[in-house]
Structure 1
Amino acid sequence: MTTNFTTLPPGPLLDRRVLAKAAQQVDDLLAELPAPPARTAAQRDEAASALDRIRTMRADYVEAHAEEIYEELTAGRTRYLRIDELVRAAARAFPGLVPTDEQMAAERSRRQAEKEGREIDQGIFLRGILRASKAGPHLLDAMLRPTPRALDLLPEFAESGLVRMEAVRLERRDGVAHLTLCRDDCLNAEDAQQVDDLETAVDLALLDPSVRVGLVRGGEMSHPRYRGRRVFCAGINLKKLSTGGIPLVDFLLRRELGYLHKIVRGVFTGGSWRSRLIDKPWLAAVDAFAIGGGAQLLLVFDHVVAASDAYFSLPAAKEGIIPGASNFRLTRFTGPRVARQVILGGRRIRADEPDAQLIVDEVVEPEDMDGAIDAALARLDEEAVPANRRMVNLAEESPEEFARYMAEFALQQALRIYGADVIGKVGRFAAGERA
């Protein structure tokens, strides 16, 4: 089967109708082929060639028109659309630019190895938007706004000081928001539910005027290997990734642009002349280990306390994926050599070795954790801390640099989660877990 593609006309103005026609031709071709795992080598080559051509067109289109596209979708930047809302709006307004709701629903029903990889097209689109000088900052602000779920729960939390969610328990005590990771059956391995619950909890902690400091700590586990022990976080849930349950937009990008960025920058409310953001100091307490996404978390906190028997690692490169914004942040903590050892070589750092001091502030015996946490919280509760940590964060991590990193991350991570090596590795992991 040979597909004759419509080509984009030369010149600065690219007609969205031409892109839509070319995209439909590729969709028709893919629909006539067997599902990805059942394709012959020739069919795989044909599909890959067709997808490469249309993705080139999409990348060229969004690069040329990112600002105009964003202006149209957000009514001249008067509407704040989160990334999930933005890609859906783009699918309706610009046919062929990003996958439709129906195409994404079909993708979600398949295991990772059986998908067409349509999230790559979302990555192309979001890379173009985040690169744009006006659209990018506006999208970052949109992702810093409180979620509707948090706004709905805020009156309950303000009154009771307690919200229980599936993955996080949030409790306010003496001006401290205690966020306890409580996925006790899977060692707090991250999935879309945990991202949703964590962003909701971070929003509530930031929005509640009775909260002055935030604390994140793992709860006690029911997992057989760590029963009764606190565990911080085991990183991405590889079983969910294998079965297609780790989405690009609602997990991999949302966690970086949502609650992690809110811990750094604060929640965007429009505010007053003083600040458009509400931000507060944060402390992390690490029991047992902080693996993958757990270790990534530590890089956005103002103070980290770790038990002496804990360890830290970023095995994403071994798994085949990119460890979030760690490639952006870790070097300023550890220097380039250690950062490469951890990210590229999978080095594990124990809390009791000297290099751990580059990542955590205090290492104490497990039985002394509670006392060390209380003392650190008291120090973070000083009046001048919020303003100073705001200026430190601005100096260390400018919004412009963060947007540039996340623009490229949006595409590169999309490509990685569909890499043959990743699919093979997580498939073997999931099979081992089931055995």
Structure 2
Amino acid sequence: MRTDPRARVERWQTDVPTVGGPLEADAATLSAYTGRGEELLAALPARYDRDGAAQHLADRIHAACRTARDRFVGRHAEAVHAALTDGLRVHRGVAELAAAAAEAFPGLVPTGTQLAAERALPQRDKEGREIDQGLFFRGLLRSPSAGAHLLESMRRPTARAVELLPRLRSEGGLNLGPVALHCDAGVARLTMQNLHCLNAEDDAQVAAMETAVDLALLHDDVRVLLLRGGIMTHPRYAGRRVFSAGINLRDLVAGRISFTGFLLGRELGYVSKLVHGLRLDDGTDAQKPWVAAVDTFAIGGGMQLLLVADRVVAGADAWFSLPAAKEGIVPGAANLRLARLTGARLARRIILGGRRVHARDADAGLLCDDVVPPDEVGDAARRAAAELDSAAVLANRRMLNLAEEPTDALRAYLAEFAYVQACRLHSPDVVARAGASA
């Protein structure tokens, strides 16, 4: 007689393992327990075919496995990270680190096969396995030693940037697809050109931005960075420049926004490099001041970038927005940074209430430095870049950033962000809201 699925899940669920032994023993226990959980999950229909009762069982299986994983990484985060980095001698980014963890500690994080299966599905039909990655990185980032090493590893130059640097030096510019980079007279001009979607951010755009930022910071002749949106081909804004429309909601609904490549990788990657610099092999940081030139609007991730710019120039018709409450996801590290610029009350109105700030508003000066006629944004941005071209500026911005955003404060924030954002990515309300807005 076949046992009722609910009874099998209930018996298994009561035995969530505790931890307290050596790493190897606890890892073997975790693997056995989550392996049984995967068997129970596989016995259920795929998510898109489950009824309410079957989905309730799946949720219970995931919850029990996540409790076990959380206990394990909570106790062994530093030992796990040391094992994956050869005692902190190897620098791995979040995607590579997660892949290594899946191989070295079966059951701790999803495998490449599991993630590939998820990637092929629309967001509403996924199991939410990236939540397990969020648990993993929360555990690592909560550890002062493992977390600091991970932050440092993520600020190292990408292999693609190192490969392209000689070509940039010889040609003076590169087209990286979603981002173009041109260097002249000490200024690296980064032009966002995801033109079909108003510079909305997707996985490819984030990867191209990181390469461009790396190249600009590595190039010896570059002293200042200038970021601006390209001229649109989108019918509604054809011929106009747009800074950024934020996350690509169509890609989110379709399941093409990744956790390690975009949501976590963006914050620990190129955004952190813009603030704290590129970590070089000799242990020094390559830092340079940078200007954001805002035409039309900076929404979501676009506005997040303004919070870390050294100078923001905006057209008089531009506006800024962090529609976190509308989209349902966490707006990167804006919750850490915005109140420092605007004060707590205005930060809450922007993030929780969805308030738009227009460049002509009385309080817009908290977010941008120069408001100019729309057709003068380019000239004003170039003047701002020239004013930042100073060794004294470079030294003082470094000290300002150290004071405003200490490494431990950033690490502690990103630890909680990793898990909360992974959960929000797979929340039904986020999928529904994104679908309505896309």
Note if 1:50 corresponds to 2:61.
yes
* 1:28–1:306 Cα change, 3 Å: same
CA distance, structure 1, for counterparts of residue 140 and residue 108 of structure 2: 12
Q: Give runs of aligned pairs for residues 328-339 of structure 1, distance below 5 A.
A: 328-339=336-347
- 1:71 and 2:82 matched: yes
Give the unaligned 5+ runs of structure 1. 431-435
Please give the residue correspondences for 1:113-124 in structure 2 after superposition, counting only pairs within 5 Å.
Answer: 113-124=124-135
C-alpha distance 10-31 of structure 1, shift in aligned 2 (>3 A): closer
1:294 maps to 2:302 = yes
Q: Indicate conservation of the 8 Å contact 1:184/1:222, yes or no.
A: yes
CA shift for structure 1 position 21: 0.9
Q: Does the 8 Å CA contact 1:288/1:310 hold for their aligned counterparts?
A: yes
**Match of residue 399 from structure 1:** 407
Per-residue CA deviations over 1:258-293 (Å, capped at 9, x if unaligned) read 000000011010336xxx111000000000000000
Q: CA deviation at 1:320?
A: 0.7
| CA displacement, residues 230-276 of structure 1 (integer Å, 9 cap, x when unaligned) | 1000000000000000011100011101000000011010336xxx1
Any idea what the Cα deviations from partners look like across 1:303-343, whole Å, max 9, x if unmatched?
00000000000012211111000001000000000000000
1:392-418 Cα distance to aligned partner (Å, 9 max, x none): 000000011001111100000000011
Measure the CA separation in 2 of the matches of 1:107 and 1:163. 33
**What residue number does 1:37 align with?**
48
Give 2:418's match in structure 1, choosing from 400, 410, 419. Answer: 410
Q: How many residues align?
A: 427
Match of 2:388 in 1: 380
Aligned to 1:75, the other structure's residue is in SS state: coil
The equivalent of 1:208 in structure 2 is 219
Q: 2-side partners of 1:368 and 1:103: how far apart? A: 50
Which stretch has the larger CA shift, 30-39 or 135-144? 30-39
Q: CA–CA distance in 1 between the matches of 2:71 and 2:377?
A: 53
Give the alignment of 1:350-369 within 5 angstroms: 350-369=358-377
CA contact (8 A) 1:7 1:18 kept: no
Q: Which runs of 4+ in 1 moved over 3 A?
A: 9-14
1:19 lines up with 2:30 in the alignment:
yes
* 1:261-280 matched pairs, under 5 angstroms: 261-271=272-282, 276-280=284-288
CA contact (8 A) 1:290 1:313 kept: yes
The one of 188, 204, 214 aligned to 1:177? 188
Question: Which residue of the partner structure matches residue 148 of structure 1?
Answer: 159
Query: 1:429, CA displacement in angstroms?
Result: 2.9
Give aligned-pair identity as a percent.
Answer: 51
Moved more, 71-80 or 365-374: 365-374
Match of 1:281 in 2: 289
Decide whether the 8 Å contact of 1:36 with 1:44 is kept in 2.
yes
Matching residue of 2:114:
103
1 CA distance for matches of 2:360 and 2:269? 32
Q: 1:425 aligns with which of 405, 424, 433?
A: 433
Equivalent residues of 1:303, 1:360 under 8 A apart: yes
SS of the residue corresponding to residue 234 of structure 1 reads: coil
1:324 maps to which of 299, 322, 332: 332
Give distance in 2, aligned partners of 1:424 and 1:355. Answer: 33
SS state of the match for residue 134, structure 1? helix
Q: Is the 8 A contact 1:317 1:323 kept in 2?
A: no
CA contact (8 A) 2:233 2:239 kept: yes
Aligned equivalents of 2:399, 2:79: Cα separation in 1: 33
Native 8 Å contact 2:16 2:67 kept in 1: no
1:15 match: secondary structure: helix
Secondary structure in 1 matching 2:140: helix
- Runs of 5+ consecutive residues of structure 2 not aligned to the other structure: none
Is contact 2:48–2:125 with CA below 8 Å preserved after alignment? yes
User: Are 2:19 and 2:26, in contact at CA under 8 Å, matched by a contact in 1?
Assistant: no
| Counterpart residue number, 2:233 | 222
Q: 1:292·1:313 contact (CA, 8 Å) conserved in 2?
A: yes
The aligned amino acid for 2:82 is E
Q: 1:12 to 1:172 in 2, by over 3 A?
A: same
1:324-363 CA distances to partner (integer Å, 9 max, x unpaired)? Answer: 0000100000000000000000000100001110001111
Distance 2:391 2:93 in 1: 33
1:8 alignment partner AA: P
Aligned counterpart, 1:433: none
The one-character-per-residue Cα deviations of 1:128-162 (angstroms, maximum 9, x if unpaired) are 00111110000001000000000010000011111
Matched residues in 1 for 2:174 and 2:237: separation?
Answer: 25
Q: Distance in 2 between matches of 1:11 and 1:224?
A: 61
Q: Is the 8 A contact 1:270 1:277 kept in 2?
A: no
User: What SS does structure 1 have at the residue aligned with 2:371?
Assistant: strand
Shift, 1:10, TM fit = 5.5
Distance in structure 1 (CA, Å) of the matches to 2:132 and 2:19: 22
Give the Cα–Cα distance (whole angstroms) in 2 for the partners of residues 269 and 277 of structure 1. 6
1:12–1:64 Cα contact (<8 Å) kept: no
2:17 corresponds in structure 1 to: 8
Residues 1:197 and 2:208 are matched in the alignment: yes
Q: What SS does the aligned partner of 2:70 have?
A: helix
- What CA distance in whole angstroms lies between the structure 2 residues aligned with 1:35 and 1:428? 24
CA distance in 1, matches of 2:101, 2:67: 18
SS at match of 1:374: helix
TM-score, normalised by the number of residues in structure 1: 0.97
Amino acid at match of 2:106: P
Q: Distance in 2 between matches of 1:365 and 1:264?
A: 28
Corresponding residue of 2:247: 236
Partner of 2:257: 246
